[in-house]
Amino acid sequence: MDFNGSGGGNELHNNQFYPSEESKPLLGDISTQQPPPEGNNNHKAGPCSKRSLLHSSSGMRYKLLQEGDIQVCVVKHPRTFLSKIFTSKYLRRWEPHHLTLTDSSLVSATPTGYMEAPLSYSTIEDLQLLSWDNAPKYCVQLSIPGGTVLLQAANSYLRDQWFHSLQWKKKIYKYRKVLNNPSRWDVVLKEIRALVDMALISPLQDESIHQAPLHIISTLLAENTNLSAQDHENIIVAIAPLLENNHPPPDLCEFFCKHCRERPRSMVVIEVFTPVVQRILKHNMDFGKCPRLRLFTQEYILALNELNAGMEVVKKFIHSMHGPTGQCPHPRVLPNLVAVCLAAIYSCYEEFINRCVQFTGFPTHETRFTPWDRRDNMQPGHHG
């Protein structure tokens, strides 16, 4: 590695850098189409514009770093001419560290020297790449109160990988803090949209890039149950682009189930939930490992049945999902549909039988009912 540095430490702030993403406000002013009133299924434009298509990036892609070896140098901001001499390139010292990027801080496997204490993301004021002439090669600059931390990688690709990984960790940490204590829901909705867009445009390739925002939002919804129906729809529309290639986490499935039960005629059921359920039916391998996905699929089909000519809508949906057995390219669709239907029937009859046993001491076979007509008997938290 080239450890040749520049002159005084204050030159870190007097030269040109690559543009910093941290200079942009966390709160993105991103608008989305407002959904039409419930029950209006004749609108032409769906509520969810495919923002993921607008943000598809074609540049270099990087794997999200969780840990790695890197050279570390800390430069204190010089105040006098003498301090400039002591912080010059001739006296600057680099230390090798194996750093771990945790959810809240940068931690060294050998907590000594510059990295004796973890470096919290909250203390990082700015994050940039060094680019001026004669600057140390392949360096990322972290501006902290009272000084600057330099991280030097082995090559430009690793430098950029460290830069984007640190930037992601820092921003996702900030969003967790912001959305953990919501005050105004109009502000929260803007933060959610900005969080989703950040995930869509990230050059990082990792499952957690889309899953982390979904888990943050599902936690937010689980802790705030007194939202209006309009808030529900706005949040569902905002996170829809992340669901195009990802299954919703369990808590988010509960939220979707609640919306299907309370507003089955809402247009987001058709516009947003349909592609999500289609993906579940095509790609799910075992509902036993993810029962809430099955319950969400079940509630979605029940919501379709509540529409005008509901049974025909359900039949068309099933027909669109599965073609002739020998030609259907998705062999998991039919077994998954059967599993959903059997679980729905079982849950209805199980509650009925349990009530009979409770009041009569033995099950009865005299009462007959159709599971589709006994929707109220289905417990949201029950899994067959």
Task: Kindly state whether residue 87 falls inside one of the protein's structural domains.
Answer: no
Structure letter (DSSP) for residue 350: H
Task: Kindly state whether residue 352 falls inside one of the protein's structural domains.
Answer: yes
- pLDDT tens-digit series, residues 143-165: 999 888 999 999 999 999 999 99
CB–CB of 165/65 below 8 Å?
Answer: yes
Task: Kindly state whether residue 258 falls inside one of the protein's structural domains.
Answer: yes
Whether pLDDT at 299 is above 80: yes
Distance CA 233, CA 346 (A): 31
Task: Kindly state whether residue 255 falls inside one of the protein's structural domains.
Answer: yes
Task: Kindly state whether residue 294 falls inside one of the protein's structural domains.
Answer: yes
- pLDDT tens-digit series, residues 236-269: 999 999 999 899 999 999 999 999 999 999 999 9
Q: Return mean pLDDT, the chain.
A: 78
Task: Kindly state whether residue 351 falls inside one of the protein's structural domains.
Answer: yes
Domain count for the chain, please give it.
1
Q: Which domain holds residue 326?
A: 186-377
Q: pTM to 2 decimals?
A: 0.72
Task: Kindly state whether residue 212 falls inside one of the protein's structural domains.
Answer: yes
Task: Kindly state whether residue 291 falls inside one of the protein's structural domains.
Answer: yes
Distance CA 280, CA 332 (A): 10
Distance CA 238, CA 252 (A): 13
- pLDDT tens-digit series, residues 267-288: 999 999 999 999 999 998 889 8
Whether pLDDT at 337 is above 70: yes
